[in-house]
């Protein structure tokens, strides 16, 4: 199992780790991965806080390439809207597409992924 860790989990982990206690186990098991979109969400604020060690560690994680299939993104958004799941941002749909394409498990605290899971098949912790 490879786990794509969403920025919502990383933010909790960096702040207190209160809700992301299993991250240490995942790190020890070397099963976590990231992508450029998630790094683009995290690194700017880490740079401003001069967290160079954290940035270096994040950049050493296995990075899953993003191949954006716009037809899939459109289908995901259509499915969401059709089922009353509104205001899902394109970045989250790109993450969803990345998870599905690479048979990853998504670790996130964003509750809309639980709703999406009811209509689109993907692995979610």
Q: What is the pTM of this model?
A: 0.90
Residue 10 burial (10 A CB sphere; 0-12, 13-18, 19+): buried
Give the domains, in start order, of the chain with CATH numbers.
3-124 (3.40.50.1010)
- Gap between the Cα atoms of 56 and 63, Å rounded: 13
The single residue listed with the structure tokens 């899971």 is 117
pLDDT at 22: 87
- Gap between the Cα atoms of 35 and 39, Å rounded: 6
What residues have CB less than 8 Å from 26, skipping those under 6 apart?
3, 5, 32, 107
Q: Per-residue pLDDT averaged across 58-80, rounded?
A: 95
**Run of H or E including 14:** helix 7-15
The single residue listed with the structure tokens 């050493």 is 60
pLDDT tens digits along 10-52: 999 988 777 888 888 998 899 999 999 999 999 999 999 999 9
């Amino acid at each position: 199992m490879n786990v794509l860790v969403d920025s919502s989990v990383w933010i909790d982990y960096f702040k207190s780790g209160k809700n992301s206690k299993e991250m240490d186990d995942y790190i020890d098991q070397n099963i976590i991965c990231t992508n450029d979109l998630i790094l683009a969400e995290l690194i700017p604020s880490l740079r401003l806080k001069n967290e160079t060690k954290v940035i270096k560690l994040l950049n050493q994680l296995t990075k899953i390439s993003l191949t954006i299939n716009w037809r899939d993104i459109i289908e995901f958004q259509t499915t969401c809207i059709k089922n009353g799941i509104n205001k899902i941002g394109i970045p989250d749909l790109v993450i969803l597409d990345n998870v599905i394409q690479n048979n990853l498990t998504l670790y996130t605290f964003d509750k809309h992924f639980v709703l999406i899971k009811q209509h689109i098949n993907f692995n979610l912790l």
